[in-house]
Amino acid sequence: MYAGSSDQPTPVTLRTLQSRKTAGEKIVALTAYDASFGALLDANGVDFVLVGDSLGNVVQGLPTTLPVTVDDMVYHCKAVARGVRRAMLAVDLPFASYRDPVTAFDNAARLMQAGAAIVKLEGAGHVLEVIHYLRERDIPVCAHLGLTPQSVHAIGGYKVQGREPAAAEKLRADALACQEAGAGIVLFEMVPAALAGEITKSLTVPTIGIGAGVECDGQILVCYDMIGLTPGKRPRFALNFLAGRDSLAGAVRAYADAVRARTYPSAEQSY
């Protein structure tokens, strides 16, 4: 069902996303954890599909992403890759899997061999060395800043990041440092909209936001949040695009249209 054909669409690459930023065209991103959702997103206008370690929360029913393993990520990457033909496939490096450059390379290589086109990791600081090491070895990297769920215990919960002047300045510096280390994309989670927009304008690489305002170059949601299946308390930035529509495909298309039209996220879904 998910095998390729001779009529393969042109794949989305980092160069594609960079051209979208340059042209002022929004990047549409969603998470997926299986082949069926991968195919659904791929066929309905999504540019960037992330196999997130959020699978720990929404698939495995865990309270945090910390127990998710590299084996988990490889399994779900292989599944999603069978459904994706066009979109860029990104996969999270889970907690403690990139504690040093060599370990990060070994684990990232497994994800690339499983079908990833880019790996995502959280934070800056010592992670900058890891980003540089991976890029020097031809593994594209998406840096994740702001609220970093793998650091939930260290930062004291799921809170907006960058509200205080010192924290905002650190976020600016970290974003630039990630770009200079070789990150091809920077993702911001739960960052004040004005700050994320300011940093987006200062970077040459594309940014993708989740709860970070409409001025990021693209937007991402957990696919279950996008169709109203959020477990527990719904995040402020989540919006049910299935409401009032009769198909999952219609919901994905509505989300993609809203991102490209800059009507999502609204001020209500931003900080």
- Let me know if 198 is a catalytic residue: no
Q: From CA 265, how far away is CA 212, in angstroms rounded?
A: 9
Helix residue spans in 67-164 (DSSP H): 70-81, 101-114, 127-136, 152-155
**What HEC string does 147-164 produce?**
CCHHHHHHHCCCCCCCCC
Active-site residue, from 189, 198, 215, 268: 189
Specify the pairing of strand 118-122 against strand 88-92.
parallel
Please name which of 65, 136, 72 lies closest in space to residue 104, comparing C-alpha atoms: 136
- Amino acid present at 229: L
Q: Residue 242: which region, alpha, beta or left (left: phi > 0; alpha: psi -120 to 50)?
A: alpha
DSSP per residue, 204-217? SS-EEEESS-TTSS
Non-local (6+) Cβ contacts of 234 within 8 A are: 225
| Residues annotated as part of the active site | 189
